[in-house]
Amino acid sequence: MESTISHVVTCDLQIKDIDIFEQCCKSQGWKFNRGKTEYKYAGYWADDSPVPGLLFDSEQEYQRVLSLSHQDRKTYMETLLGKCSHSITIPGCRHEVGLIKKKDHYVPIWDWWDSQLKMVLGTGESFPVAQQYATEVVKKTLTQQGLSWSFEQDNKGNTIIQTY
């Protein structure tokens, strides 16, 4: 019997340009589901892993959820999880990534208990297209400002940007 324990995480990536982010996802072979308002995850909150703080609009709200009883927290978290503004389907993974709208940006959320999704995305430390996304946003901004630019990688994998 397959286990469906939920271990949902977010990462501190603020996605402000959804069009650029969609292109980054597609470049990885991922399907970006624009406007899909649910993402696949285990379907319930087990409350045996940390509550993702980035789900909440304020530290006060986050602390309030942490202070709930085990059962009340499970019930509350299940009202939040599985809902999103857009989702991402990654080939070979049974669960999906949701993009949750927060004020002026989106935050990715996923259930890393899916071992395939965990292999691709990890457990919330970073997001695989974050550097690509940041680079594309900088390119767009520089172009809008009428600047010419070039990008190169140093021997440590850092992106070096030159404007002229």
- Condensed to tens digits (0 to 9), the pLDDT of residues 75-98 reads 999 999 999 999 999 999 999 999
> 138 and 97, same structural domain?
no
User: Comparing C-alpha atoms, which of 29, 44, 7, 14 is closest to residue 105?
Assistant: 14
By the 8 A CB rule, do 118 and 103 touch? no
Q: Are residues 119 and 147 in the same domain?
A: no
62-71 CB burial, b ≥16 within 10 A, e <16: beebeeeeee
Task: Give whole-number Cα distances, 16 to 49, 108, 114, 118, in Å.
Answer: 28, 12, 27, 24
- Per-residue pLDDT, averaged over 124-133, amounts to 82
Q: Are residues 113 and 161 in the same domain?
A: no
Together in a domain, 32 and 111: yes
Residue 152, pLDDT above cutoff 60: yes
Whole-structure pTM value = 0.85
- How many domains does the structure of the chain reveal? 2
The predicted-structure confidence for 95-109, as pLDDT tens digits, reads as follows 999 999 999 999 999
3: in domain: no
Domain match, 98 and 27 both: yes
* pLDDT exceeds 80 at position 3: no
Q: Which structural domain, as residue segments, surrounds residue 163?
A: 129-164
| 20, 137 Cβ separation under 8 angstroms | yes
Same domain, 59 and 104: yes
Q: Are 22 and 57 in the same domain?
A: yes
One domain for residues 121 and 134 = no
Q: Say if residue 135 is in the same domain as residue 119.
A: no
Asked whether residue 1 is assigned to any structural domain, the reply reads no
Residue 118 has pLDDT above 70, yes or no: yes
Which comes out higher in pLDDT, residue 57 or 37?
Answer: 37
Asked if residue 38 belongs to a domain, the reply is yes
Shared-domain flag, residues 138 and 120: no
Is residue 141 located within the same domain as residue 82?
A: no
Residue 34 lies in a domain: yes
Compute the average pLDDT of residues 15-42. 96
